[in-house]
């Protein structure tokens, strides 16, 4: 019996076929898994950069910003990340008035809720220290990521939170409705 077991262990005939059957699924899983991992990283990284881009665009506005402008910016983010239209975005201008944070205006698109003064209590640790009368623009994006292959990765949501100060004026003017006037 022991001799048969030794012969079996040292017998190398068909070892390559046996190893191929065992390792091919692992190699395929590793290849597909690395593709999904790097695709998720690409979507996350691109969504962060696109959020900074939109925040920078809003901070430079001296003319009236309309609700449809913010909707268009959300569409641009979705196009940049090559998404499926699941990008939610909220833009908010926050002011410091007599030691308290106040929402000047807020606009959410694609299902993102507006931000109100009552919501600021939950995020005061993320807001900067500001002088009285100072304003910041907060841009938040919420990007859903669904992996292209099922490898055990759950559906992810990348939440981006970007604050910028208005650059050329003390505040960014906003109107939820209306259209720009033609000159």
In a domain, 181, yes or no: no
Residue with tokens 């833009």: 91
* Distance of alpha carbon 76 from alpha carbon 52, whole angstroms: 13
Q: How many domains does the chain have?
A: 1
State the CB neighbour count (10 A cutoff) for residue 29: 13
In a domain, 95, yes or no: yes
**Please, is 91 exposed, middle or buried when counting C-beta atoms within 10 Å of its C-beta (0-12, 13-18, 19+)?**
buried
Residue range(s) defining the domain that contains residue 33? 14-175
In a domain, 1, yes or no: no
In a domain, 159, yes or no: yes
Question: For 89-142, how does the pLDDT look when each residue is reduced to its tens digit (9 = 90+)?
Answer: 999 999 999 989 999 999 999 888 898 988 888 888 999 999 999 999 999 999
Report the predicted TM-score, pTM, of the whole model to 2 decimal places: 0.79
In a domain, 9, yes or no: no
Which ranges in 60-131 belong to alpha helices (H)?
67-80, 117-120
Question: For 138-180, how does the pLDDT look when each residue is reduced to its tens digit (9 = 90+)?
Answer: 999 999 887 777 777 677 888 999 999 999 888 888 887 766 5
Cα dihedral sign, 25-31-34-35: negative
In a domain, 167, yes or no: yes
Task: Give the residues across from 141 on adjacent strands.
Answer: 89, 160
């Amino acid at each position: 019996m022991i001799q048969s077991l030794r012969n079996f262990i040292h017998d190398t005939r068909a070892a390559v076929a046996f190893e191929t059957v065992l390792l091919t699924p692992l190699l395929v899983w590793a290849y597909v898994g690395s593709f999904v991992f790097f695709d998720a990283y690409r979507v996350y990284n691109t969504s962060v950069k696109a959020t900074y881009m939109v925040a920078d665009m809003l901070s430079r506005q001296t003319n009236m910003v309309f609700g449809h402008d913010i909707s268009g910016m959300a569409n641009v983010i979705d196009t940049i990340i090559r998404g499926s239209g699941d990008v939610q975005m909220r833009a908010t201008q926050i002011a410091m008035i007599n030691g308290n944070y106040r929402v000047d205006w807020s606009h959410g698109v694609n299902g993102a809720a507006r931000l109100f003064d009552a919501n600021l209590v939950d995020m005061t640790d993320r807001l900067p220290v500001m002088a009285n009368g100072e304003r910041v623009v907060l841009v938040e994006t919420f990007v859903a990521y669904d992996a292209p292959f099922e490898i055990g990765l759950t559906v992810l949501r990348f939440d981006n939170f970007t604050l910028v100060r208005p650059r050329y004026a003390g505040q960014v003017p906003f109107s939820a409705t209306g259209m720009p006037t033609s000159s």
